[in-house]
Structure 1
Amino acid sequence: MLRSMYAGISGMKVNQTKMDVIGNNIANVGTTAFKSQRTRFQDVLSQSEGRALGPSVNLGGVNPRQIGLGVKLAGIDTLVTQGMMQPTSRPYDVAVDGEGYFMVARGPEAYGDKNKIIIGDHEVKDASSHEIYYSRDGAFGVDHEGNLVTSDGYRVLGYIMKDGGKSSMNADGTINYMDADSKTLEADESQLGTLKIPEKIKAPKLDKDGKPLDPEQIVDVRIISFSIEKNGVIKGVREDGNVAVLGQVAMASFSNPAGMEKCGGNLYQTSPNSGTPVIRSGLNSKTDNSKGYGAVLQGMLEMSNVDLSEQFTDMIVTTRAFQASGKMISTGDEILQEIINLKR
């Protein structure tokens, strides 16, 4: 049989795969924070018809004589370049302008010392009760308990705040008042928990000047609005005008983000080639690494990074390459038919 026919088969196979990738890219042109993919080809082993010879006294050198046996798929790469920012004016929508991924989890609620995710040295040390995923899709919302969740219900992870030995979140999920102007306020970098934007928080009853009447007299104070700052800190405005810190959105980065595996639902998980996730330091951290991460922008969503003009051009080239590979097979068939006809 003709080697060209098998080369044509390999060309049809890889171009069909490339067309599948292009189709998926185009289908996800409107998907939030979608990262497009590309295919790469390599030639396969070449059959030698003659070896290379070096120059001699009487003759010059001869190059190798090789016939290629087709093409193979070298890889399908994820392009992690950032998409454009789309304003939404929705307070629960956030986008990452730069490096970093949101951390979301499937599992029990992590409040205070309850089901906590232990971290240290900017790495996850123990998350045995949770499945942690990573995402650039910041189209968040809240459930009826006030938990910050993705559109599929995965709970958004973040830092619990502490001030003078007091924690911002209790084991039952209720949030204590943490003064946003406190000089000793910091993130608890020993753990990650489930973030909440509640309707009410527990706080000392204040007088008209904002001073506690009795530190022991704790009442429920309603939260009328909230904001998410560029460092991920969530602040809630109380009905009395005082501002409380509710938590801080956690982010992670990877040495090779293109090595992460897509899980569907705009989620990623680590792989042996993605590297270990490095968690962004919290507010007022003594080991600050936040300069290597992007800013969290509220009221924005990251759009898909698919370039339609590029995809349609690739589609034309791929279609023609597929047709040419098919023509190679039909031409080989005609040659074989001529060989068979020699017997007549």
Structure 2
Amino acid sequence: MLRSMYAGISGMKSSQTKLDIIGNNVANVNTVGYKKGRVTFSDIMSQQVNPAQGPANGQGGINPSQVGLGSQIASIDNIHTTGFRQTTNRSLDLFIEGDGMFAVSNGEETFYTRAGNFYLDAQGDIVNPSGYYLQDVNNNKINIPADAQSYSIDEFGEVTYLDADGEQQSAGTIALAQFSNPGGLEKAGSNLYRTTDNAGFGGLVGAGTGGQGSIVSGALEMSNVDLAEEFTEMITGQRSFQANTRIITTSDEILQELVNLKR
């Protein structure tokens, strides 16, 4: 069989994966805190036809002759650039200006997210849409009593409220998780990430500490997907897929001519 046919098949698979990633990005263009994906390719090992030879016996050297065998997926990356800020004027909508991620817990596992749409449950605990508890710098829940007159969150993540007597009380300081390599985080669904051995988790700190960003109350970080960029990549992915199908078609025609030689 022709090597070009198998190279075309590998190119089709790679292009299909690229289109899958683009489709997921476009589907999440309005998802709060979503980080777009990106796929990169690499070539598959090449078949050696002739090895390289150095100069010898009065003759110059020659370069190796190799035939490539197609392409493969090199990586599928999560691009953690900051999405645009949408002002909501809702106190529990939080935007991180800079680095860091919110930490939320279901009681068994801690997850991390840039989606800052939080709510109060029936007990007065701050939770995300899945009911996971927002963590403070001591890895505890943040609770606002039911009899609190009002509450606020400052740029350093400190949550304060006025109690029934009108006295200001502290409910805790919202923690931001530090990662030296956010791209190493693993997506867990529902706008959540879990840490991995390659994420470089550096612990929980308050906003503005250790290079972490500040917190803006009353705003949300939206998706960092750029539709113009995605549609451009979609066109190139589609053309790449078509070109690889043409390679397979042409290779098939050559094989057909070989079969017809017996006639």
Q: 1: distance between equivalents of 2:189 and 2:202? A: 19
Task: Return the letter of the residue paired with 2:198.
Answer: N
Match of 1:290 among 209, 234, 238: 209
Do structure 1's residue 194 and structure 2's residue 194 form an aligned pair? Answer: no
Structure 1 segment 281-320 matched on structure 2, within 5 A = 281=206, 290-320=209-239
- Residue equivalent to 1:265: 190
Q: 2: distance between equivalents of 1:194 and 1:259? A: 26
- Residue equivalent to 2:177: 252
- Residue equivalent to 1:54: 54
Q: Cα distance, 1:59 vs. partner? A: 2.4
- Residue equivalent to 2:203: 278
Q: Cα distance, 1:277 vs. partner? A: 3.8
- Residue equivalent to 2:149: 224
1:267-301, Cα deviation, whole Å (9 max, x unpaired): 1101121123421158xxxxxx8041000110010
Match of 1:143 among 108, 113, 121: 121
Task: Return the letter of the residue paired with 1:264.
Answer: G
Match of 1:333 among 225, 237, 252: 252
3-state DSSP class of the match of 1:194?
Answer: coil
C-alpha contact 2:177 2:201 (8 A) present in aligned 1:
no
3-state DSSP class of the match of 1:82?
Answer: coil
Structure 1 segment 66-77 matched on structure 2, within 5 A = 66-77=66-77
Q: 2: distance between equivalents of 1:19 and 1:277? A: 34
Structure 1 segment 93-172 matched on structure 2, within 5 A = 93-107=93-107, 130-159=108-137
C-alpha contact 2:174 2:206 (8 A) present in aligned 1:
no
Q: Cα distance, 1:226 vs. partner? A: 1.1
C-alpha contact 2:173 2:206 (8 A) present in aligned 1:
no
Dislocated runs of 4+, deviation >3 Å: 238-242
Q: Which runs of 5+ in 2 are unaligned?
A: none
Give me the identity figure in percent: 47
3-state DSSP class of the match of 2:172?
Answer: strand
- Residue equivalent to 1:220: none
3-state DSSP class of the match of 1:251?
Answer: strand
Q: Which runs of 5+ in 1 are unaligned?
A: 108-129, 160-190, 201-222, 283-288
Task: Return the letter of the residue paired with 1:197.
Answer: I
Q: Cα distance, 1:57 vs. partner? A: 4.6
Task: Return the letter of the residue paired with 2:255.
Answer: L
Whose helix fraction is larger, Structure 1's or Structure 2's?
2
Q: Cα distance, 1:25 vs. partner? A: 0.5
Cα RMSD after superposing both structures:
1.5
Q: TM-score normalized by structure 2? A: 0.96
C-alpha contact 2:28 2:34 (8 A) present in aligned 1:
yes
C-alpha contact 2:156 2:206 (8 A) present in aligned 1:
no
Q: 1: distance between equivalents of 2:177 and 2:66? A: 49
Q: 2: distance between equivalents of 1:277 and 1:305? A: 24
Q: 2: distance between equivalents of 1:194 and 1:321? A: 50
Aligned length: 263
Q: 1: distance between equivalents of 2:35 and 2:24? A: 11
3-state DSSP class of the match of 1:192?
Answer: coil
Task: Return the letter of the residue paired with 2:135.
Answer: L
Task: Judge which range, 235-244 or 82-91, deviates more.
Answer: 235-244
3-state DSSP class of the match of 1:158?
Answer: coil
Q: 2: distance between equivalents of 1:247 and 1:279? A: 13
- Residue equivalent to 2:241: 322
Q: 2: distance between equivalents of 1:298 and 1:281? A: 15
3-state DSSP class of the match of 1:280?
Answer: strand
Q: Cα distance, 1:248 vs. partner? A: 1.1
Q: 1: distance between equivalents of 2:197 and 2:219? A: 32
Q: Cα distance, 1:192 vs. partner? A: 2.3
1:99-151, Cα deviation, whole Å (9 max, x unpaired): 111111012xxxxxxxxxxxxxxxxxxxxxx2111111110001111110001
